[in-house]
Amino acid sequence: MRRGDFDWLRSNRPLLISQIVGTPLVVAWLLYAHFHAHEIFGLVIVLLLPVFALANVWMISRARRRLSDPSARNEELTGESCTPAMHIPIGGSAPVGRWVGAADLPGTLGRMNASAPLGVLELSDRLLTLRVRPRFLASLFGAKPLVVSPEQVEAVFPARGRLRYKAIGIRPINQPPSYFLTVGADRVAILTAIASAQFPVEWDERRFSYA
């Protein structure tokens, strides 16, 4: 472990509180099960807790290092593309939209994946927002809402995950990408709305980058 590898825990108060309160309760319950119910399984788990804790810290630290390393990102083209609308209106009234699906966001613990309907993508006043609800769940994993304007985005693009699910990738400048999984929604219509708000939309599909 390098110096600063525990900064994610110190800065994540909900997780820190749950660890401080929850760990002694789990240990107490397992010891009770061992001494009063003569369950050897409880004692084995207590003895293995330090191993589990160190393994968890190592995996989180590794994920955090990958997120901070641009060379670890892999956004290869899939060879497929979306067909944009024949005419994308630019200017005039700002487009507004709200879509519910799944989300994959970078956070202080690595990447956080929230299944549908916990992911929300919103377009309003030339701002694109991707967030996870409820807010407490996102804060527990250190995932902050992504709120960007067109000037802050390198690219918005169609994406494809390992299980072939369709998504929309949002790559802010000098930051790891975030993903909104459309879950049955019209991906082309969403990308067209985002493009009409003057965001830099690319139409060639890319693979998910988990770094």
Q: What pLDDT, on the 0 to 100 scale, is given for residue 61?
A: 72
The strand pairing partners of 104, in sequence order, are 113, 179
Radius of gyration of the chain measured on its C-alpha atoms: 21
CA distances (Å), origin 180, targets 23, 128, 132: 33, 12, 10
**What is the pTM for the complete model shown?**
0.75
pLDDT of 77 higher than 90 = yes
pLDDT at 9 over 60: no
Asked if the 78-207 domain carries CATH number 2.30.29.30, the reply is: yes
Q: What is the pLDDT of residues 192-205, one digit of tens each?
A: 999 989 999 999 99
Mean pLDDT, range 12-26, rounded to an integer: 63
> Can you name the residues that pair with 155 across neighbouring β-strands?
171
In contact, 100 and 114? CB cutoff 8 Å:
no
Environment class of 144 (CB within 10 Å of its CB; exposed 0-12, middle 13-18, buried 19+): middle
User: Which range among 8-12, 26-30, 87-91 shows the weakest confidence by mean pLDDT?
Assistant: 8-12
CATH 2.30.29.30 in the chain, residue ranges: 78-207
What's the CA angle centered on 104, arms 77 and 176, to 5 degrees? 60
pLDDT, tens digit, for every residue of 92-125?
Answer: 566 789 999 999 999 887 888 999 999 999 999 8
Mean residue pLDDT of the chain comes to 81
Per-residue confidence band for 142, with pLDDT thresholds at 50, 70 and 90 = confident
